[in-house]
A and B are shown apart, each in its own frame.
Chain A
Amino acid sequence: MKLKNIFLPWLLPVFLLAVWQAGSATGIFPETILPSPVVIAQTLWEAIAGGEVISNLAITLRRTIIGLSIGVSAGFLLGILTATMPLLDALLSPSIIAFRQVPMFAWIPMIILVFGIEEGSKIVFISIGTFYPMVINTYDGIKTVPKKYLEVARVYEYTPIQTFQKVIFPSAFPSIITGLRFSIGMSWMLVVGAEILGAATGIGFLMAWSRQMFQLDRVFAYVIVVGAIGIIINSLVTGVEKKLLAWRGSGDGGSI
């Protein structure tokens, strides 16, 4: 039973890899269309050892972090402000919703025209893309603070600031964290996409460049790198989220 549990998750990938490798070895899959797993592994190793992956990855991550920080802080602030000030809400929220309808990647050509193909355009793009999940989830979280908890704060004559600190913010916190998680997940996709679409450095650029050179093994190798970073980011975020939201048990103190 135990053995089966360990064995099963590997069954599918190993089987597919074996078929793939066999197909490549016998020439059923031509090298130019589907390089063999072994070749891809070699290429990946060389790309890492050669340093090009690391240096480009560093550039990509730097863009991600800067763009993400700007987008997330702006989204967080605006989310709080619009959710707590009805006037600002009426002024800005409809515009935020309207702008969001434009698909993210449709912004890229415009951004490249305005900000050029350098760092600036990537960062602006990631900021815009990560802004939305953050602003929307922060806003929703605050707007849906249960009234029953606000009443408890009223009974104890909390000032608005105290109410915000002790009730509104903690209550909205899970939603804010969800927004942050979406933003972080989004940022990785956005940066890779933006780099594929127009960049001279970065992991996405390497992908686009290798494609133009018809080096499929390289494209594959970079997909693996991008996926691996995705997995790392995701598990980090999930781990931190679990820690932060420890109070959310399964039950609710036996209340109905």
Chain B
Amino acid sequence: MGIYSLEISNLNKKFSVGGRDLPVLEDINLKIQTGEFVSIVGSSGCGKTTLLRIILGLETGYEGEAVLNGKKITGPSAKRGVVFQEHRLLPWLTVEENVAFGLINMKNRDEKKELTDKYMKLVGLKGFEKVFPSQLSGGMAQRAAIARALINNPEILLLDEPLGALDALTRMYMQKELEHIWEKEKLTTIMVTHDIEEAVYLSDRIILMSSRPGKIKKIINVPLSRPRDRDEIYFMRIKDDLLSEFHLQAEKHFFYSI
């Protein structure tokens, strides 16, 4: 077991596209501690979602292995909470029913109702129980998806750009909320994001990925105490470091394309 919750070793993943192999992830080695908050950043299409799907157990057919709490991942499990890149609420269920989606085998109705209410409140959706997803704003839908991911009390939380659809203010508010939830539940969390500041604000470590094929380029520690202050000098420095990584990569691309 050890202190590592998730261990990924020598992972290689290819997709076959039109009969040809397209390497998507190459030589991924990663250890994540129990209760750690890790962010993954990298340019679009570098394989972040694919990596999360492997941890979820939705992708099979790869080399190497992913081990969660001592057990090799072979398929999906309700003990892994996920917020997909698109919210994936089921349009025919009300918000409340969507949030309770993972409680299907819970027989006790009262308990189920209580839990659902708790998480609805947690993400600030009280009063929208009977509403259908098509009647929610993008941000509200994403929050409902977060509630659905949390309600099962998962061993690990996988977030694929969970706050992507939110406006800047709600986003900051939700970042705080996420931090609260994470601290309270001591949840091992992996979050994919495009927002560097968000990554620095929330993470213990930030994994930088390069693309085509996706590799871990760098892992950056964020040794700042919480709650973090976005205007503090160390915060800004880490953010700048990260940004310059991207800048460099962009420049290289530019160079090649000439």
User: Residues of A with Cβ closer than 8 Å to B?
Assistant: 148-149, 151-152, 154-158, 162, 166-167, 170-171, 173, 246-256
**Interface residues as binary, B125-154 with A (CB distance below 8 Å gives 1, 0 otherwise):** 000000011111111110000000000100
Q: Are A156 and B152 in contact (CB under 8 A)?
A: yes
The CA of A173 and the CA of B132, in the complex, are separated in Å by 16
Between A162, A166, A253, A255, the greatest number of chain B beta carbons within 10 A of the residue's beta carbon is seen for: A253
CB atoms of A247 and B76 under 8 A apart: no
* A255→B86 contact, CB < 8 A: yes
How many interface contacts (CB-CB < 8 Å) are there between A and B? 86
Among B56, B141, B152, which residue has its beta carbon within 8 angstroms of that of A253? B141
Give, as a whole number of angstroms, the nearest-CB distance from B125 to chain A: 12
Name the A residues within 8 Å of B94 (CB-CB).
247
Binds A, one of B77-85, B170-178, B197-205, B233-241: B77-85
By a CB distance below 8 angstroms, the chain A residues around B136 are: 253-254
Contact present for B56 and A171 (CB under 8 Å): no
**Chain B interface, >50% SS class:** loop
Contact A247 B141 (CB under 8 A): no
Contact A249 B165 (CB under 8 A): no
Residue B70 at the A interface, CB < 8 A? no
User: Quick check: is B101 within 8 A (CB to CB) of the other chain?
Assistant: yes
Q: How far, in whole Å, are A252 and B89 apart by their CA atoms in the complex?
A: 9
Instruction: List residues of chain B with CB under 8 Å of any chain A CB.
Output: 56-58, 75-78, 80, 82, 84, 86-94, 101-102, 104, 132-141, 152, 165
Residue contact A155 to B91, C-beta cutoff 8 Å: no
B91, closest chain A residue (CB): A247
* Complex Cα–Cα for A158 and B75 (A): 12
What are 13 A-to-B residue pairs whose CB atoms are below 8 Å? A148-B86, A151-B76, A152-B84, A152-B88, A154-B75, A154-B76, A155-B80, A155-B82, A171-B92, A249-B134, A252-B91, A253-B87, A253-B137
> Are the C-beta atoms of A250 and B104 separated by less than 8 Å?
no
Q: How far is the CB of A32 from chain B (nearest CB, A)?
A: 57
Residue of B nearest to A249 (CB): B134
CA distance A256 to B165 in the complex (A): 10
CB nearest to B141 among chain A residues: A253
Q: Given contact pairs A154-B58, A246-B132, A254-B137, enumerate 16 new A-B contacts (beta carbons under 8 Å).
A: A148-B84, A149-B90, A151-B58, A154-B75, A155-B58, A155-B82, A156-B78, A156-B152, A157-B77, A162-B104, A170-B90, A170-B92, A250-B134, A252-B133, A253-B134, A253-B138
Query: Contact: A249 with B58, CB < 8 Å?
Result: no
* Interface pair A247/B152, CB less than 8 Å apart: no
A249 and B135 contact, CB distance less than 8 A: yes
- Contact status A148-B88, CB under 8 Å: yes
Q: What separation, in Å, do the CA atoms of A252 and B78 have in the docked complex?
A: 25
B-side contacts of A253, CB under 8 Å: 87, 89, 91, 133-134, 136-138, 140-141
- B60 → chain A closest CB, angstroms: 12
Indicate whether A156 sits within 8 Å of B102 (C-beta atoms), given known contacts A254-B137, A254-B139, A255-B138: yes
- A166 and B90 contact, CB distance less than 8 A: yes
What is the CB-to-nearest-CB distance from B23 to chain A, in angstroms, rounded to a whole number? 23
Q: Which among B80, B92, B101, B138 is the interface contact of A254 at CB below 8 angstroms?
A: B138
